[in-house]
A and B are shown apart, each in its own frame.
Chain A
Amino acid sequence: MRRYLPIVLASVVVLLGAVWVVSEKKSVPKQEPQQKQVAPLCPFGDSFQKEVSKSPLPHFLHTLKLPQPFLIDLSQKEHRGLALYYGRGLRHLLHPKVWERYGHFSTYVLDKEGNLYLTPMPFISIEPQTFAWQKAIYRLESQTGKLKPWRILEEVEASASNPYGVTSIAYDKHDHTLWVGTLNGSTYTEQKGVIYHIDIASKRILGRIEGVDALSLQLLQGKQQRWLLIGSARGGELLAYGLECQEGVNTPQKLFSLPNTQMQIRKMRVIAPNTLLLETIPFSYTLITQSAKEDRVRYIAKWYPQRQKWEISLQMNENVTK
């Protein structure tokens, strides 16, 4: 028996060690990722410039020899789905019935080949297909003008308690990819939105940013690096995600909240050096329409790199009467 003593002793030591390790590991409090107060890896401090969009218009417009200018209309006021006005005074309309097939759209981007990518939008009243339509990113083919679902995100589940799915989109011309924001699954108490980074050529998901409800997305070329700006669906916040930060540690960082936190950023663009124009709407994850002109409020967000400070002001020109 004595000759097995080392084996028995070793087994006992390992067993005791295992009991200790398991109990210790269980007693270590689990850190909620969202509660970590980690300083951003690459804090936003960049100056930025206005970038000229070089995306061409869909090629089929040239094939059809339609005269410029063009206006892509997703307002849903006159036409369901996608409508395109063209010609002098934008008096002519292109709106094939098939462009109504997938319900209503909220926003779009053009890629370097003139393909138009659209995000869906639930609208009054709910139709049997409404929730299913919220799963997809749609593409209007540059060559043919055909509109069809381009990439379906199966995990996106719109529902009666949150009818929103795919909501926001931005095109990254540097690597020919899309950034796509979803709001699905988010509740009053929890933010479960995901931003997907999708390669256009392969339709493969390259990465995900979780726990962010993005109502709008915009790429920003800073002096030092590129940023993904995120208009949060809550709290009137603008977030920034450094695209050249180390993977895994990087999280979106809050740049500022709007003075009125009931307004959420629906559109944004750079209008001058270090200056953003923000178009905001009151957004409540319901189907109430509050995107009419009188509901929209525009803000100017000016960044002062030397002072590392944002200044937010209302853009009032539209409302003032003299």
Chain B
Amino acid sequence: MVKEQKGRKMQQENKIALGILVGGVVALSLYWFLPTSSPKPIIKKVEQEQIILPKEGRVHHAKIPEVEAYLEQLSALMRRGEAVIPLGEEELESRSKRVQTFLLKNPQFLADTHHNKQLLHNDMMRILPALVGSIPERFQQQCKAHHCYEAQKYNFVTNTTTKALVDSDTLSLLSLERYPQMQPDISLRLTHIAQAIALASEDVKEALGKTPSFKDMTMANVRGTMKESPCQNTSHLCVAPTFSDHHAQKALWAVVDLTELRLAAAKWAGLGKTTTPACISERALQNRYIMKHFCQKDTLLKRNGWEISYRLTGSDGLEVHHVSFNGKPVLDSAKIVDWHVSYQEKGGESLDTSTQSYIEGRRVEFRKEEDGNYLFGYNDAMGCPLFSTSVVLAFNAPQIKPLPFGDGFMLTQDFRNPKWPMACNYRYENRFEFYNDGSFRVVGVNKGRGCGDHAIYRPVMRIDVNLGAEEKFYSATQEGWREWLVEGSEFVPTHTTPYPYKITSASDVTRGYKIEPNHGQFHDQSRGDNATLFVTHFHPNEGESDLLTLGSCCNLKEDGVERYVEDNESIDAKKIVLWYVPRIYNDSKKGEEYCWADSIVDDSGNIEVKVWPCTVGPKFIPLKGAE
């Protein structure tokens, strides 16, 4: 009986053990085969690239014999009243030579080589026997019997290719077509010039780690006829000589801009067919370089006792933050969050604002004033060239340059509409000047061109000085310094005193900065700031991160910052933010240009852009330095 019970018990324990084994195996199998967590969304990583942009200030074609000879020939031609650089002997045989001579005297062919009696730089690119496929049906018979040639000419100013079909036997022009915004295959001479520019480039040498020779290079020419060039900077003719490193299985593509005769950019790519860039554009390379180095991460700059973190934002331009001088904090952040652009016109009484209006793709805001005038315009945000809410985009990377009088350095970033200096397109510069004595200046530069005169530009500067968590702000009065106890704003006085304001630490009032508004004393041809100053209590949601459009472009009674001072919060011994909004009136009158840009054709028949910048912004001087 006892044995039976014992046997039953044994069986029970075996069953439990078996259960544990089976259950364990099932559970572990499920664990093995089932996904560990809910599936994550699929995210595709974008391939990273290594891009080189030419360093600022390097002269790209100085002392390159091929370039010098080309420029000399061009100016000699212009002096003779001719605009087309012909093909050299080495690119012509007897028939094509005759065709070239004929075309260079043909008024139809040369019709686009001048504008208002101004000669425009053209190059003859190719003169070759016409391929059957490129001969129009109506000339097939004639070209079967005769020797027909196709000639291609490129106009560097209008970015237009002209294609002519010529019967070389009768020397008659059979057809003539112009292709605006198209670039042809380039001449042998320009090929050699592009190669020479790439070989002479210091940036290419640095990237390759050696001085390259001609044999290291292959020429990536324009493929086919009448296609877009491999470098498509919309209106420039570019080609890409390539330096192959077979050992490392990669190649350096040097993009040479033949319109400006300079190295535009370079990019490392793999040697395989799949990684060879089908099309390299200077602009695209710049954009990717800027995104990778300045929009995706902060950069630390250490110089002359200054330590500065900087980055490009989505819509607030170039921002400097965590700035210190000789180890002491100076700025939490400084940036230009917006440019209000408005135009003042007469005749507001008859203005119809019932429907939306647009200029160059921007929605225009209209505002009638009491005096019968009206204002129209828009808000321009500056920022990263990709993935941002900006319309005026970072061109090139931030640059560090010495100040004109050698007393410090500047960190500066160029922002442009891609079509600047065409009408209704803009170019701004964000600049931060750092002086050897611990002073600094926040600067906005406008380089036109805008839609015309009567423009009023208002950059909105946000300056968050770091003097600790408790700060005080003062105005200069005849009786001495008067503290601002609550948030507020006022028009910045000019000429009454060089330093109308100061900001100090609340715990140590000798620590801080005097503020020197610009009234033209900074030797930059500025006509003054005419600014409004706002002093606000710091709130993270008031511009610490990217600010979208702030207020109206065209209400001259408001700058957009008013919303942050409405509550009249106390700013006594509080963290303070300064908002400085200069007001600039442009001028397009000849001889008095200001905030303006214009394109002219220069003596060599090429386009030259003339810029008349306007520069604004206050300087901050350490209290001890000012006294």
Contacts and interface: CB of A to CB of B under 8 A. Distances in A.
A244 to B, nearest CB: 21
The 10 closest A-B pairs by CB, nearest first: A289-B361, A14-B24, A6-B17, A211-B42, A191-B44, A10-B17, A210-B42, A10-B20, A211-B44, A160-B314
Nearest to A292: B361
5 contacts: A25-B36, A126-B315, A190-B43, A192-B44, A288-B391
A160 B278 CA distance: 31
A6 B14 contact: yes
Interface residues of A, number: 67
A292 B181 CA distance: 14
Interface in A265-297: 284-292, 294, 297
Interface string A248-267: 00000000010111100000
B387 A161 contact: yes
B386 interface: yes
B528 to A, nearest CB: 28
A126 B295 CA distance: 20
Interface string B375-400: 00011010111111111010000000
Interface residues of B, number: 74
B56 interface: no
A11 B27 CA distance: 13
B232 A260 contact: yes
Interface string B175-188: 11111111000000
A211 B393 contact: no
B358 to A, nearest CB: 6
A306 interface: no
Contact of B278 (A6, A17, A33, A259): A259
B388 A161 contact: yes
Interface stretch (A49-57, A77-85, A198-206): A77-85
Interface stretch (A107-115, A167-175, A218-226, A313-321): A313-321
B360 A286 contact: no
A262 B232 contact: yes
A70 to B, nearest CB: 20
Nearest to A286: B388
A3 interface: yes
Interface stretch (B65-73, B279-287, B491-499, B589-597): B279-287
Contacts of B417: 288
Contact of A294 (B28, B176, B181): B181
B240 to A, nearest CB: 13
B1 interface: no
Contact of B378 (A18, A33, A124, A288): A124
Contact of B362 (A7, A33, A289): A289
Interface in A115-152: 122-127
A13 interface: yes
A25 B389 contact: no
Contacts of A34: 42-45
A21 B26 CA distance: 12
A322 B176 contact: yes
A321 B178 contact: yes
A68 interface: no
A9 interface: yes
B471 to A, nearest CB: 28
Contacts of A126: 315, 381, 389, 548-549
Contacts of A9: 17
Interface string A27-40: 00000011000000
Contact of A13 (B21, B356, B384): B21
B276 to A, nearest CB: 12
* Interface of A (DSSP majority class): loop
A189 interface: yes
Interface string B530-546: 00000000000000001
Contacts of A257: 278
B87 interface: no
A9 B356 CA distance: 82
Given A160-B314, A188-B296, A192-B44, 15 more contacts: A13-B24, A14-B24, A76-B358, A77-B358, A125-B549, A160-B315, A161-B388, A189-B46, A261-B284, A285-B386, A287-B388, A289-B391, A316-B179, A320-B177, A320-B178
A106 interface: no
B363 interface: yes
A3 B228 contact: no
A122 B363 contact: no
Contacts of B45: 34, 189-191
A197 interface: no
B227 interface: yes
B356 A79 contact: yes
A288 B392 CA distance: 8
A285 B44 CA distance: 16
Contact of B46 (A122, A188, A289): A188
B387 A18 contact: no
Nearest to A123: B363
A9 B292 CA distance: 58
A191 B47 CA distance: 11
A192 B41 CA distance: 8
B86 interface: no
B21 to A, nearest CB: 5
Given A7-B17, A125-B378, A188 B386 contact: yes
